Amino acid sequence: MDSTGTLENDFVAFKDGKYVLQHETLSTTAQPGHILVKMAYSTVDPYDALCFNLYKTEGTRIGVEGSGTVISVGEGADATLLGRKIAFMGNGAWARFAHLNVASTFIMALHDSQDLAKATAACVNPLTAIAQLDIIQAKGSKSYVADAAASSLNKMLLSLAKGAGIECIATVRKENQAQHLKEAFGVKHVLIQDSPTFDEDLKAAVEELNPLVFFDVIGGAYPMRVFKALPNGAKLVIVANLTHTDIPLDTSHLLFSGKTIEPLLVFAWMGAATQEKRDWAFKQVSDDLGLNGGKVFGTNFAQTVDLAEWETAVKDYNEVASKQLGKFLVRCNSE
């Protein structure tokens, strides 16, 4: 930022057929209905990977969540945000500075002492986990099934579900993941996907717990294998598709068993929630990160890259995600 009322900004956006790091000069004064944020960190989410492959309109900025400090508040925006540390979910987080439209951005005010690196992923996964618990409870189920259950997202949901007296049937790929879930979270039913007794074990667990919700993040043929084993009236909730492959659908389960399939997009869930529920969700996350050491909503970061190295994070994202090592932390400003 300089004395002329402008600042130099680097950001990632779509230009001439591809996403590239670009440069612009911004006013230090936020426009009406906007806030100007000096970014600290962003990360790479499944939503970023999705946007990177699907949204290729000239000028589209990428980076769905991040953390930073509000340095200017435009007319009509919440003036109390000025100088506050925030996390947000919206668009354009892969930048040194983000000029955010408050009407289309979910903004979480953080505690003053909050380490912004630890709050970088305060929105997408934590709010998705809260939405998942809401779905389970709305269905009246006392249990649920999750694949890729050793993921950061499901670990958050496990902590929330335990407090609500809800059990999980967890499916994972590796034995060490199964052991971790049993020892760290007390999960009774942890199934190995490639086990020769998987279908038999799943049937027994379903008969015992009667789960009415199944959260899938994998895609492909595997979810239907689980969906078929669920009781009548159960629902498959598609949260992500890490394999980028279609799910083959046996419509008989929809027609004759009363089962349903629906998506969970956290932006849509938050948009449909009441302001009271959104405020409550923000406070749960902010208090856990700021006062509780992130015991529920904390995120493990596998690697840190500078903004200029954003392409490395995109290139290696699938490998890191598939191994459930953690997320990439994108450092937006060096100072």
* pLDDT digits 0-9 by tens, 221-237: 999 999 999 999 999 99
The pair of structure tokens assigned to 56 is 């290729």
User: Considering Cα of 223, then 226, then 231, then 232, what sign does the dihedral take?
Assistant: positive
Q: What residue spans in the chain does CATH classification 3.90.180.10 cover?
A: 6-121+299-331
- State the pLDDT at residue 191: 98
Q: How confident is the model at residue 139 (pLDDT cuts 50, 70, 90)?
A: very high
- State the pLDDT at residue 138: 97
- State the pLDDT at residue 4: 58
Listed in order, strand segments (DSSP E) in 239-279 are: 260-263
d(C-alpha 126, C-alpha 153), whole Å: 7
| Cβ pair 307, 95 in contact under 8 A | yes
Q: 6-121+299-331: what fold?
A: Quinone Oxidoreductase; Chain A, domain 1 (3.90.180)
Residue of 128, 114, 119, 121 whose CA lies nearest to 157: 128
Q: What residue spans in the chain does CATH classification 3.40.50.720 cover?
A: 124-267
Stated pTM of the model? 0.93
pLDDT, tens digit, 9 for 90 and up, residues 12-44: 999 999 999 999 999 999 999 999 999 999 998
- CATH, range 124-267: 3.40.50.720
Percent of the chain with pLDDT over 70: 96
